[in-house]
């Protein structure tokens, strides 16, 4: 059973490596963007990567495991829809990345075995994930002995033991990560930066340009005076078509929301319920029991320091005497009554050590475990034993046991409540025996530092929720609105009903929430089963809102058609039309002009001098990035006036006064290293995207999740 205590302590860190199974380094830099095409067939087929299927049942099992691991690592018992969506996306990325890389790795015959596998957990250069899992949090130092203990512990477990299976999976993941590392190295080792690259980069960062520009801004032409034609839209679309590639199918909707949040009357009812409890709460002599009977949240009473209470009462309670009651007050969706039960001075932190004894190791009962702990206590008190000698032998917690039971220094709340109570309410030098869910602890309080006021507060809460009457009224309005709809009258009927039409754009098939609507997964499923202009076939309940929606656009995977992005590109198209007018104006002003000042005067544009601009940072001071303008500057002969240049802010003409050339590059090696590192960072993400496109990833999550 010593194994269980040890692995219980370490396995949290081990599974953290598993849930991050972005074991492949480049996934951290370039998240997988899933494809959105749907296909008919097996309902258990969540997606495909080439000819390899991703089964829905396997995916769901992995999501369940990763969610459990998230709870363990975060300490959160409730998982929000957003977190669920995040875990699902992370899990999908794991399946896709493993499938893609496995094919490439198998093709090349890359392996990791024998001494190479052993070296990842032992030796002078263990895997970073081993180091992460077996670093002592109290010292920040990697503990190789702890790795050996874990390996030995696992050897003694029977096949099928969950802890053994978890460890085996961890090792398999390390091996797969090592294979991926080899594959990436094969690709990235082929990247090369030559001396000319280094010279160009050096000059791009250090060669200075001094120039003047005249600008006619787009704002000089009112939008109302510009009417883009279909030809203007088509020209802009054709020139920028590559920017409109959809990585996955997206959809737009219009929707209206009928609010079923608690009314003022609902609020008054809940508040009155707590007000009626006030006399009994004042008279109560057993506040813990009173909380258990009357509160919806049945939290145990525990000491808390300033800053840990509900912000609504934190600054008030610490100024009061025991017996003080505050409320009813509204906080986090509930009405509450708070009673100050106790106040005392308490250490800020404690240094302690323990020996953990479990019933299994002591004869099968808590009574036997208590007897053993008491015997160990007497040995220490009599001087016949010490923590240093007894903890390594008798403590089930081998992580601390190998260090004489040392738990280091910790603050209030770091341990389970019973343990906290023992060490923070005792005094330095105390030997205590307590029982927790982990077993029986023999504790020694080695030191206590600091002193702050702590309080014990009993809180009664009742959630504020909408009454059936409030919900029914809102739902009836939503149903009446839905009954009035057809495919052509959504906005008109919304106006009649006195509700605002809202928009949600670029919704992905795996979205769990929409703007203003949390936990909207049912609505999203309907959106992706519907056709353009379809009106929802039911009123959707989203939190305290009743929602009716209409699909307004379907944007398929791939290059989007012009009509789907016309509204988005309208501002840019308007500027493009303005650019033609402003270019003609500057070109006319340039005729016969011998200086940029003459052009500016004719065109009504100010001439602005600019100093010390470099090619690598193409920003005009006081303005914005102007790639076309700065690129033109560094390609112009001295004192030659440019042709009109279409930029981000308007249309420019420029003239270069002089260039300041830097000293010759003397350290090409360092420059090449810097360029190489930048290329390497980009290459890993680009490599995966190229493999993903080649692998033909198909994503059916919107249909099945």
For the segment 622-658, what is each residue's pLDDT rounded down to a tens digit? 888 999 999 999 999 999 999 999 999 999 999 999 9
- Residue 77 pLDDT: 75
Please determine whether the domains at 250-261+467-555 and 264-346 fall in the same fold group of CATH: yes
What value does the mean pLDDT take over residues 604-623? 94
Q: Pick from 92, 97, 103, 252: which is nearest to 700 by CA? A: 92
- Residue 42 pLDDT: 52
User: Tens digits of per-residue pLDDT, 507-534?
Assistant: 999 998 998 898 899 999 999 999 999 9
The yes-or-no verdict on residue 396 having pLDDT over 70 is yes
Cβ atoms of 649 and 623 closer than 8 Å: yes
Residue 5: other Cβ atoms inside 10 A: 22
The yes-or-no verdict on residue 3 having pLDDT over 70 is no
Cβ atoms of 198 and 668 closer than 8 Å: yes
Cβ atoms of 361 and 371 closer than 8 Å: no
Confidence of residue 138 (pLDDT cuts 50, 70, 90): low
**Residue 283 CB-density burial (10 A; 0-12 exposed, 13-18 middle, 19+ buried):** exposed
User: Tens digits of per-residue pLDDT, 179-201?
Assistant: 988 999 998 898 999 999 999 99
- Say which DSSP state 510 is in: T
Strand partners, 433: 442
Q: Is the peptide bond before 86 cis (omega within 30 degrees of 0)?
A: no
**Token reading at 589:** 């002003």
Collapsing DSSP to helix, strand or coil, 17 comes out as helix
CA–CA distance, 689 with 273 (Å, rounded to integer): 59
Q: Pick from 44, 162, 34, 147: which is nearest to 99 by CA? A: 34
In this structure, the dihedral spanned by the alpha carbons of residues 417, 423, 425 and 427, taken in order and rounded to 10 degrees, is 180
User: Tens digits of per-residue pLDDT, 139-171?
Assistant: 778 888 888 888 888 888 888 888 888 888 888
User: Tens digits of per-residue pLDDT, 7-59?
Assistant: 445 444 444 444 343 333 333 333 333 333 333 345 688 999 988 899 999 99
Class in CATH terms, 250-261+467-555: alpha beta
- Say which DSSP state 658 is in: E
**Residue 421 CB-density burial (10 A; 0-12 exposed, 13-18 middle, 19+ buried):** middle
- Residue 431 pLDDT: 96
CA–CA distance, 339 with 283 (Å, rounded to integer): 11
Q: Pick from 267, 258, 257: which is nearest to 465 by CA? A: 267
**Token reading at 6:** 């040890």
User: Tens digits of per-residue pLDDT, 251-283?
Assistant: 999 999 999 999 999 999 999 999 999 999 999
CA 119 to chain CA centroid, nearest Å: 33
Report the range out of 139-143, 398-402, 484-488 with the highest average pLDDT: 484-488
- Mean per-residue pLDDT of the chain: 89
pTM (two decimals): 0.66
Task: Count the residues in the chain.
Answer: 705
CATH number of 349-449: 3.10.50.40
Which stretch of DSSP H or E encloses residue 411? Answer: strand 406-411
- Residue 362 pLDDT: 67
DSSP state letters, 542-579:
ETTEEEEEEEEEEE-SEEPPHHHHHHHHHHHHHHHHHH
CATH architecture label of 208-246+563-660:
Roll (3.10)
The yes-or-no verdict on residue 114 having pLDDT over 90 is no
CATH number of 264-346: 3.10.50
Confidence of residue 552 (pLDDT cuts 50, 70, 90): very high
- Residue 610 pLDDT: 96
Sequence-distant (≥ 6) Cβ neighbours of residue 254 within 8 angstroms: 490, 491, 501, 502, 503, 549, 550, 552
In this structure, the dihedral spanned by the alpha carbons of residues 157, 163, 168 and 173, taken in order and rounded to 10 degrees, is -170
The yes-or-no verdict on residue 2 having pLDDT over 50 is no
What value does the mean pLDDT take over residues 687-694? 85
- How is the beta sheet containing 349-357 ordered, strand by strand? 406-411, 349-357, 439-449, 431-436
CA–CA distance, 619 with 108 (Å, rounded to integer): 46
Three-state SS annotation for 296-332: CCCCCCCEEECCCCCHHHHHHHCCCCCCCEEEEEEEC
CA–CA distance, 389 with 392 (Å, rounded to integer): 6
CA 404 to chain CA centroid, nearest Å: 39
Q: What are the extents of the domains in the chain?
A: 2-188+696-704, 208-246+563-660, 250-261+467-555, 264-346, 349-449
What value does the mean pLDDT take over residues 597-605? 96
What value does the mean pLDDT take over residues 273-299? 94
What value does the mean pLDDT take over residues 333-355? 94
Cβ atoms of 512 and 521 closer than 8 Å: yes
Q: Pick from 248, 446, 254: which is nearest to 352 by CA? A: 446
Higher pLDDT, 216 or 360: 216
CA–CA distance, 612 with 498 (Å, rounded to integer): 58
């Amino acid at each position: 059973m010593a194994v269980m205590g040890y692995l219980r302590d370490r396995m949290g860190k081990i599974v953290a490596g598993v849930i991050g199974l972005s074991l492949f380094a480049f996934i951290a830099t370039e998240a997988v963007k899933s494809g959105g095409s749907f296909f008919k067939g097996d309902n258990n087929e969540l997606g495909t990567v080439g000819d390899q299927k991703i089964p829905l049942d396997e995916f769901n099992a992995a999501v369940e495991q990763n969610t459990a691991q998230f709870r363990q690592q975060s300490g959160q018992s409730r998982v929000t829809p957003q977190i669920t969506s995040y875990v699902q996306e992370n899990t999908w990325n794991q399946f896709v990345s493993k499938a893609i890389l496995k094919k490439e790795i198998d093709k090349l015959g890359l392996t990791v075995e024998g001494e190479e596998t052993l070296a990842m957990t032992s030796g002078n250069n263990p895997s970073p994930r081993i180091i992460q899992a077996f670093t002592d949090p109290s010292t920040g130092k990697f503990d190789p002995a702890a790795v050996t203990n874990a390996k030995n512990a696992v050897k003694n477990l029977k096949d099928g033991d969950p802890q053994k299976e978890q460890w085996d999976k961890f090792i398999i993941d390390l091996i797969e990560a090592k294979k991926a590392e080899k594959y990436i190295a094969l690709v990235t080792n082929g990247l090369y930066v030559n001396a000319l690259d280094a010279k160009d980069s050096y000059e791009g960062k250090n060669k200075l340009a001094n120039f003047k520009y005249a600008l006619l801004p787009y704002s000089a032409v009112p939008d109302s005076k510009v009417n883009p034609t279909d030809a203007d839209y088509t020209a802009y679309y054709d020139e920028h078509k590559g920017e409109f590639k959809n990585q996955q199918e997206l959809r737009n909707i219009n929707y209206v929301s009928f609010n079923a949040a608690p009314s003022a009357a609902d609020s008054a009812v809940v508040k009155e319920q707590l007000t009626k409890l006030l006399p009994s709460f004042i008279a109560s002599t057993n506040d813990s029991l009173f909380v258990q009977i009357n509160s919806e949240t049945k939290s145990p009473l525990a000491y808390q320091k300033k800053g840990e209470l509900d912000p609504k009462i934190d600054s008030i309670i610490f100024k009061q005497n025991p017996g003080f009651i505050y409320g009813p007050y509204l906080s986090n969706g509930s009405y509450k009554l708070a009673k100050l039960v106790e106040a005392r001075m308490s250490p800020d932190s404690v240094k302690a050590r323990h020996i953990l004894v479990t019933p299994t190791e002591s004869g099968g009962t808590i009574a036997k475990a208590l007897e053993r702990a008491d015997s160990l206590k007497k040995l220490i008190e009599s001087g016949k034993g010490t923590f240093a000698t007894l903890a390594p032998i008798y403590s089930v917690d081998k992580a601390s046991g190998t260090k004489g039971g040392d738990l280091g220094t910790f603050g209030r709340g770091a341990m389970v409540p019973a343990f906290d109570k023992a060490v923070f309410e005792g005094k330095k030098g105390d030997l205590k025996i307590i029982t927790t869910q982990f077993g029986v602890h023999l504790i020694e309080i080695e030191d206590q530092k600091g002193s702050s006021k702590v309080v014990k507060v009993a809180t009664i809460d009742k959630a504020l929720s909408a009454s059936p009457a409030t919900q029914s009224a809102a739902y009836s309005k939503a149903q009446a609105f839905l009954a009035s709809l057809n495919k052509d009258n959504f906005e008109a009927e919304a106006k009649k009903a006195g509700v605002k039409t809202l928009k949600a754009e670029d919704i992905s098939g795996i979205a769990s929430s929409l703007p203003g609507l949390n936990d909207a997964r049912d609505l999203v499923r309907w959106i992706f089963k519907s056709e353009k202009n379809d009106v929802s076939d039911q009123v959707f309940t989203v939190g305290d809102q009743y929602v009716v929606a209409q699909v307004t656009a379907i944007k398929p995977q791939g290059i989007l058609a012009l009509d789907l992005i016309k509204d988005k590109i309208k501002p840019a198209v308007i500027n493009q039309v303005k650019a033609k007018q402003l270019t003609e104006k500057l070109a006319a002003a340039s005729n016969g002009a011998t200086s940029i000042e003459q052009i500016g005067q004719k065109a009504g544009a100010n001439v602005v001098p600019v100093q010390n601009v470099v090619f690598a940072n193409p920003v005009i001071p006081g303005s914005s990035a102007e790639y076309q303008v700065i690129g033109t500057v560094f390609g112009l002969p001295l004192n030659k006036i440019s042709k009109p240049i279409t930029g981000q802010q308007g249309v420019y003409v420029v003239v270069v006064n002089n260039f300041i050339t830097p000293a010759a590059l003397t350290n090409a090696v360092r420059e090449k290293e810097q360029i190489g590192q930048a290329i390497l960072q980009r290459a890993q993400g680009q490599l995966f995207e190229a493999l993903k496109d080649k692998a033909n990833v198909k994503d059916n999550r919107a249909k099945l999740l």
